[in-house]
Amino acid sequence: MTRPPKAIPPCLICRQAPGHGELCPSDDDEATYYLQHPLPDGHRDWTPAGIRYTGTPARRTAVRAVMATTCWVRMHGKPNLPMSPGLLINQILATFGSSASKTARIGYTSDFLTTLDCRCDPWRCIHDHDAPNGVAPDWLTHPRLDPDLVVYVPLVAVEIRWADLWQTYWFADAGGGAVSLAIDSIPEISPPGITVACHRRWCDLCPGSSKPGARAKAPTPCPCSCHAGTPS
Ligand SMILES: [Zn+2]
Ligand SMILES: [Zn+2]
Ligand SMILES: [Zn+2]
Ligand SMILES: [Zn+2]
């Protein structure tokens, strides 16, 4: 069977061809996600920029499997990182501006994402459109696939501790730079008066009390639950 010439495959997200549905994020530069998935206590936004790596259920399965191999390093002092993810993470943090100072942890994966550097429109890539749900695509045994298109991409992550929220930004190290894949958001409010260390879950670094403010004379004890049970 041959494809009719110039047949345009449907969009992976809105399923339309040749155009896109009215609400399809592919046409929206401001869209921050094309799909949201629940996480325990929060959710994950799959970002439009990462569609090439995450645009099918099979590809997202592969990404989640690589995410599970993340080595986390606390962003305290001079974190000790392998050279390659370290350089990329520095580039990413530079784009975060002042928010970079809220980084609690940075991460890099010990495994690579095996994926495809094909010439398809990433919103309409046909290469694993029929891959079974829940199974990472096996590119190397895919029929009619040029093995030269297969690439191995490590992931890096930056975890930001906001006042009331944890966010983890996931990126692919795509050679030329970082490509945003997903943003995880998990709301969590710390008790008032908590120290910066305990707010970031660096409980072993907490001095046990916050510095006295302009009016308070004595230091305020840190209310983090990690101090409960410590004899005073
Ligand atoms: Zn679309
Ligand atoms: Zn493709
Ligand atoms: Zn604590
Ligand atoms: Zn504390």
SS (H, E, C) 37-84: EEECCEEEEECHHHHHHHCCHHHHHHHHHHHCCEEEEECCCCCCCCHH
The reply to whether 200 and 104 lie within a common domain is: no
What's residue 131's pLDDT? 64
Strand partners, 128: none
pLDDT-based confidence at 146, cuts 50/70/90?
confident
pLDDT-based confidence at 138, cuts 50/70/90?
confident
Please answer whether residues 126 and 59 qualify as being in contact, where contact means their C-beta atoms are separated by less than 8 angstroms.
no
What's residue 133's pLDDT? 67
Q: Is 125 within the bounds of a domain?
A: yes
Distance 14 CA to ligand 3 centre (A): 45
Q: Is 3 within the bounds of a domain?
A: no
Distance 92 CA to ligand 1 centre (A): 28
What's residue 67's pLDDT? 98
pLDDT-based confidence at 123, cuts 50/70/90?
very high
Claim: this prediction has a pTM higher than 0.85: yes
What's residue 216's pLDDT? 67
The reply to whether 181 and 202 lie within a common domain is: no
Average pLDDT over residues 166-178: 94
Question: How many angstroms separate the most distant Cα atoms in the chain?
Answer: 83
Q: Is 2 within the bounds of a domain?
A: no
pLDDT-based confidence at 126, cuts 50/70/90?
confident
Distance 51 CA to ligand 2 centre (A): 11
What's residue 121's pLDDT? 93
DSSP state at residue 102: G
Please name which ligand lies nearest the alpha carbon of 19: 1
- 76 versus 130: the higher-pLDDT residue is 76
pLDDT tens, position by position, 60-100: 999 999 999 999 999 998 888 888 899 999 999 999 999 99
What's residue 194's pLDDT? 94
Average pLDDT over residues 125-151: 75
Average pLDDT over residues 185-202: 96
The reply to whether 165 and 58 lie within a common domain is: yes
Distance 36 CA to ligand 2 centre (A): 23
What's the number of domains the chain is made of?
Answer: 2
Distance 97 CA to ligand 4 centre (A): 27
Q: Is 98 within the bounds of a domain?
A: yes
Instruction: Evaluate the omega torsion of the peptide bond into residue 25 and state whether it is cis, within 30 degrees of 0.
Output: no
Distance 230 CA to ligand 3 centre (A): 12
DSSP state at residue 217: S
What's residue 2's pLDDT? 60
Domain encompassing residue 109: 30-187
In DSSP notation, 113-165 reads: EEEE--SS-GGG--TTTTPPTTS---GGG-TT--GGGEEEEEEEEEEEE-SSE
The reply to whether 47 and 162 lie within a common domain is: yes
Q: Is 63 within the bounds of a domain?
A: yes
Distance 168 CA to ligand 2 centre (A): 28
Q: Is 128 within the bounds of a domain?
A: yes
Distance 179 CA to ligand 2 centre (A): 17
